[in-house]
Amino acid sequence: MATACPKCRAPSLVRVHPEAPGTVLRCERCHGHWLSAEAVKGFGEVVDVRLTDRPVESTREKDRQTGLCPEGHGILRRARVEARDGDFHLERCQACRGVFFDAGELTTLATMHVLGQLDRYFDPDATREERRARVREHLDADVKATFGEAVFLELEDLVSRLDDHPKRSMALAWLTDRLTNAGEDE
């Protein structure tokens, strides 16, 4: 007998890879996969799942909704994954820690080499830090492109010298004032 799919809500989840640790279910309608916490942990032994993990037309629409844990624990918690081909959401049960992958998500995560690190997507502190690092990386690249490598390195040096200074806010205020009023002094 099939189990209800978190996305289709129809009894369309069937067991695949019975030799794998834990439970691996595949939806016959939307081609998503439910992996128990044990299956997620031992994913190296169920790599074949990716072979049947092909996106279908309605994947984007399905990603906008969450669902219920197929094991009866209630609503799945969502976590955003930022990927090159577009962002998507994973859904995980807070009680049993099983994860539902919409069609294509399992392959995307395997390609990103992060299947063993799914907890980080459900940790708000980790995702916040990753986002800050990406913003800083983009800003650094923009400053380098705008002002050149030499000015960027001088600014980096200034920041490192002021970083631990107890009165660094005074230097920031002075720089802001000088740069804001630079054209008025002439």
Please report, for the chain, the start and end positions of each structural domain, with discontinuous segments joined by +. 13-122, 131-177
The pair of three-digit structure tokens given for residue 175, joined into one six-digit string: 């720089």
Write the pLDDT tens digit of every residue in 141-156.
Answer: 999 999 999 999 999 9
pLDDT for 184 equals 64
Alpha helices per DSSP H over the chain: 37-41, 59-63, 105-111, 124-147, 149-162, 168-180
pLDDT at 48 over 70: no
Q: Coil, strand, or helix at residue 27?
A: strand
Contact assessment for residue 47 and residue 16, using Cβ atoms and an 8 Å cutoff: no
- Convert the pLDDT of each residue in 103-157 to its tens digit: 888 888 887 888 888 888 888 787 778 778 888 988 999 999 999 999 999 999 9
- Predicted local confidence at residue 58, as pLDDT: 47
The pTM of the full predicted model, rounded to 2 decimals, is 0.66
Sorted by sequence, the CB contacts under 8 Å of residue 176 that are 6+ apart come out as none
Share above pLDDT 90 across residues of the chain, in percent, rounded to a whole number: 37
Residue 46 has pLDDT above 50, yes or no: no
pLDDT at site 53 = 58
Which residues does residue 76 pair with via DSSP β-bridges, in sequence order? none
CA distance 91 to 100: 5
pLDDT, residue 110, reads 80
What letter represents residue 75's amino acid? Answer: I
